[in-house]
Chain A
Amino acid sequence: MTAVLTRVGLALGLPVVLVAVWWFASAGSTDFFFPPLRTIVEVFGPTWFGERLVDDVLPSLGRLAAGYAAALVLGVGLGVLIGSNRWVRAVTEPVLEFLRAIPPPVLVPVLMLVAGIGNGMKILVIISGCVWPILLNTVAGVRAVDGVLEDTCRTYRIRGTLRWRHLVLRSASPQIVTGARQALSVGIILMVISEMFAASSGLGFTVIQFKDGFQIPEMWSGVILLGLLGVLLSMLFRVVEHQVLSWYHGSRTAQKER
């Protein structure tokens, strides 16, 4: 119990200090662009918990979810294909290096031409950034399948779907999760960026609109909301990771203790 309290205390300590510093340092601020934190907090509720929640926040998160999910399916699928076949790898590697080096925001104008300015384009932008860390980590994970386990599957004639599910995907899962974690932060960034071009709704769009309308406290509240969403999503990610990789963390701890 005390251990849990200590952990919570450690995790919350620095944020509390930082918020307090911001609160008191900005308390008497008359600078138009750096309003008191108190003002920002006051506008936070009215700004976001009204119709903007339905009109802007949820659509943004929906596009993030769609893009992220598609990138997961695509990245893991292609990663398994590329990782388990030497020839496919030799052919695709140079192309992958090229594509991966393109910063996804640059693709926004291109994707606008192809997919218009609707949800499709924004989801494509998110996919185009999220897919790389997942894909490349999956390739590395699939390539690193243990030789003894591979031999075990061969002698016991574990093939096809059973082999993909129980050998390849599970051995690669620690790396896939690493890729997915990187992709999540990339996804949040691209969710915002995709809404800064030719958009009519969304978190990124709203923040830009507040800036253009000189609604500075509202703008700041949007920045804070994005940060909070990031924290929330990463906590959610940890819960999923804990489920998927409990064997991995367990076996690592067991090895260290021996």
Chain B
Amino acid sequence: MLTVDGLGKVYASHGRRVEAIGDLSFEVETGSFVCIVGPSGCGKTTLLRCCAGLLPPTSGTVTLSGSPVTGPPEGLAVVFQEYGRSLFPWLRVADNVDLPLRAAGVDRAERRRLVDEALDAVGLGDAHRAYPWQLSGGMQQRVAIARAIAYQPRVLLMDEPFAAVDAQTRADLEDLVRSVWQRLGVTLVFVTHDIDEAVYLGQRVIMLTSSPTRVAEDLTIDLPDERDQLTTRGDPRFTELRGRVYAQIQKAKLEGKAR
């Protein structure tokens, strides 16, 4: 269980005080898939970095399985938006996936198996020896996902991972993430600004207000577990949920402007 309790983050520099996150509280059940959406600039990335232990919150706490998060906790992986910058350009694809396992002290044979499996799972079984920069953007993000899969995390955080890839690649990657989540039984928190994507992927969608950020609404997505791009997106219930999230985000934007 990932618990965010009364989380607040204020950036203070050069006499300016920017309240990025006001007061956020929510819980993510172990093994569930939660999407977080909000208007742009609402502190989604800040929230995710606080959850990952990369950024100390100004107030409130993040707790993972009962222990407070003060630095990057064990068994947690992050897939960053900037895939081009999160892969090591001097390491080949397989070595990129392998490095966290080496750091974790996994033995060689096991590492090899995990790397092979992870790259096969993302459809890059033949790209072991390529360098990341030789691949397209979508493929680079697959490598980053493979690295997270091979690491076998209990919690996987994704920060707008598909914001910079084209629409068709994006649909493929969404299905990939769904299947990875179902297979690994990992707790997945997926931050996005894309409403369709949030509704399509998650079991729950948490909508945020403009900054200083609060939870606007916490919506359960009661779509069937088996989802695919055609039928799920054509489902009237999908349209209904999507409309509801859209309205909430619009409201948040207007309130943000009025403030």
Taking Cβ atoms with an 8 Å cutoff, the residues of A that contact B are 146, 148-149, 151-152, 154-159, 162, 166-167, 170, 173, 247-248, 250-251, 254-255
Contacts and interface: CB of A to CB of B under 8 A. Distances in A.
Contacts of A162: 99, 102-103
Nearest to A151: B54
Interface stretch (B71-79, B229-237, B240-248): B71-79
Nearest to A167: B88
5 contacts: A155-B72, A166-B88, A247-B133, A250-B131, A251-B131
Given A148-B85, A157-B100, A250-B131, 16 more contacts: A148-B82, A149-B85, A151-B49, A152-B80, A154-B54, A154-B72, A155-B53, A155-B77, A156-B77, A156-B151, A158-B103, A247-B90, A247-B131, A248-B90, A251-B131, A254-B133
B58 interface: no
A162 B88 CA distance: 13
A251 B54 CA distance: 28
Give the residue among A149, A152, A159, A167 with the most B Cβ atoms within 10 A: A152
A156 B134 contact: no
Interface in B79-136: 80, 82, 85-86, 88-91, 99-100, 102-104, 131-134
B146 to A, nearest CB: 13
Contacts of A247: 89-90, 131, 133
The dominant DSSP class at the A interface is helix
Give the residue among A151, A154, A156, A158 with the most B Cβ atoms within 10 A: A156
A166 B100 contact: no
A59 to B, nearest CB: 37
A149 B74 contact: no
Interface of B: 49, 52-54, 71-72, 74, 76-78, 80, 82, 85-86, 88-91, 99-100, 102-104, 131-134, 147, 151
A219 to B, nearest CB: 47
Nearest to A159: B103
Give the residue among B49, B52, B86, B89 with the most A Cβ atoms within 10 A: B89
B218 to A, nearest CB: 26
A158 B100 contact: yes
B78 A155 contact: yes
Nearest to A158: B103
Contacts of B78: 151-152, 155
B99 A158 contact: yes
B145 to A, nearest CB: 13
Contacts of B82: 148
B133 A251 contact: yes
Contacts of B80: 148, 151-152
Contacts of A248: 89-90
Contacts of B147: 156
Nearest to B91: A166
Given A162-B103, A250-B133, A255-B133, A157 B72 contact: yes
Nearest to A161: B103
A243 to B, nearest CB: 12
B133 A146 contact: no
A167 B82 CA distance: 17
A157 B71 CA distance: 10
A155 B89 contact: no
Given A156-B77, A170-B90, A247-B131, A146 B72 contact: no
A157 B104 contact: yes
B5 to A, nearest CB: 21
Nearest to A154: B72
Nearest to A255: B133
A250 B52 contact: no
A159 B49 CA distance: 19
Given A149-B86, A152-B86, A255-B133, A157 B103 contact: yes
Given A151-B80, A250-B133, A255-B133, A157 B88 contact: no
